[in-house]
Amino acid sequence: MKYKIQISKAKLIVLVGVCFFIAYLAYNSGPNPNYQLKLETSAPQEYWSFFSEGARKKLSVIQTITLKFQNPIANFRFDDKKYFIEVFKLDALADKPLDELIASSSNTDFMNNGITYLESGGPLFDVSFKTGKNKARHININLKGNNTHQIRNDSVAYFNSDFYFFAINYNKSDTTAIWATTGGRPPEIPTLALPIDILFIKKHGAIYLLIMSVNDSKTSLPANKLYDLVCRK
């Protein structure tokens, strides 16, 4: 005996919609497999070159994440695991002084709808990096925190803060390329403030982003710590 399944047009539309929704969730649950994610236990030599020989003795690589279409993201432990440092080479034009290329504000503008991010960082918060090709001709950093101060010149843009949230946007776009928060999700403002150093530096004809913070909320981060490690070695 043969059975024939009959589905009304309305039910068929709902069923197709559910299938598309499930496929969308699966696609956006992590990096696209076409990005060819790799995890390594070594870091590029150009990343090590930011630190003096003395500082290198206190550094160890946690992991380096490599994706197709994207530069490596290296994650280090520093000073007996008190701190973590991330190093990332931006895909950015280095033909302008950094004080012209990088603008800053203290609002919580954030847009990540439909975007896939790769999460890295330390034990207290993740830093989310937009996957894919992200060419930057202009950079805007939104940093929300307490006791924020900056050091700026043509080759360095350094920010220190007890932060709640930061977001980095490229090319005056609403789309957020890199972001982190100490709790919840934007536009929520968490109650936990953590010390952070954010350093953009022009070197080797390129622009790099370095981020330093603590591995324990009871640990302090001395003023200008990352700036001193990289710029005054």
pLDDT in tens, 107-162: 666 777 778 888 898 899 999 999 887 788 899 999 999 999 999 999 999 999 99
Q: Is 61 helix (H, G, I), strand (E, B) or coil?
A: strand
Q: Is residue 31 part of a domain?
A: no
Q: Is residue 50 part of a domain?
A: yes
| Alpha-carbon dihedral sign for residues 140, 223, 192, 122 | positive
What amino acid is encoded at 11 in this protein? K
pLDDT digits (tens, 9 = 90+) for 175-222: 889 999 998 666 566 888 999 999 999 988 899 999 999 999 999 999
Instruction: With respect to residue 28, please indicate whether it lies within any of the assigned structural domains.
Output: no
| Count of alpha carbons within 13 angstroms of residue 89, beta-carbon side | 21
In a domain, 189, yes or no: yes
HSE-CB at 78 with a 13 A cutoff on CA atoms is 24
Number of domains in the chain: 1
Give the pLDDT confidence score for residue 184 in this predicted structure: 67
* Within-domain flag for 114: yes
Q: Please indicate, yes or no, if residue 27 is contained in any of the structural domains.
A: no
180: containing domain:
38-231
State the Cα–Cα distance between residues 154 and 152, nearest whole angstrom. Answer: 7
Higher-pLDDT residue of 15 and 91 is 91
Question: Does a structural domain hold residue 136?
Answer: yes
Looking at the domain assignment, is residue 178 inside a domain?
yes
Residue with tokens 């399944």: 5
The answer to whether the pTM exceeds 0.75 is yes
Binned at pLDDT 50, 70 and 90, residue 22 comes out as very low
**3-state class of 188 per DSSP?**
coil
What rounded mean pLDDT belongs to the chain?
Answer: 83
CA distances from 55 to 51, 212, 233 (A): 6, 14, 9
Is a pLDDT exceeding 60 seen at residue 17? no
